[in-house]
Amino acid sequence: MPEGDTVWQTARRLHRALGGRTLIRCELRVPRFATADLTGRTVLEVAARGKHLLTRFEGDITLHTHLRMDGAWWVYPDEERWRGGPGHQIRAVLSVPGETAVGYRLPVLELLRTGDEERAVGHLGPDLLGPDWDPDAALANLRGDPARPLGEALLDQRNLAGIGNVYKSELCFLLHATPWTPVGQLPEETLHRLPGLARKLLEANRDRIARTTTGRRDQRLYVYGRAPKPCLRCGTPVQLGDQGDGARERPTYWCPVCQPGPAPRPRTAVRPDPTGRATRRGTAGAPGAARPRRAP
Report the catalytic residues: 2-3, 51, 250
Which residue spans within 33-133 are E strands per DSSP? 43-49, 52-57, 61-66, 72-77, 90-96, 99-104, 108-113
- Calpha distance 48→121 (Å, rounded): 10
Between CA 57 and CA 94, with CA 44 as vertex, the angle to 5 degrees is 60
Say if CB 103 and CB 68 are below 8 A apart.
Answer: no
Helix (H, G, I), strand (E, B) or coil at 180: coil
- Calpha distance 222→232 (Å, rounded): 6
Our measurement of the distance from residue 13's CA atom to the centroid of its chain's CA atoms, rounded to an integer in Å, reads 15
- Edge-to-edge strands of the sheet including 52-57? 43-49, 52-57, 61-66, 108-113
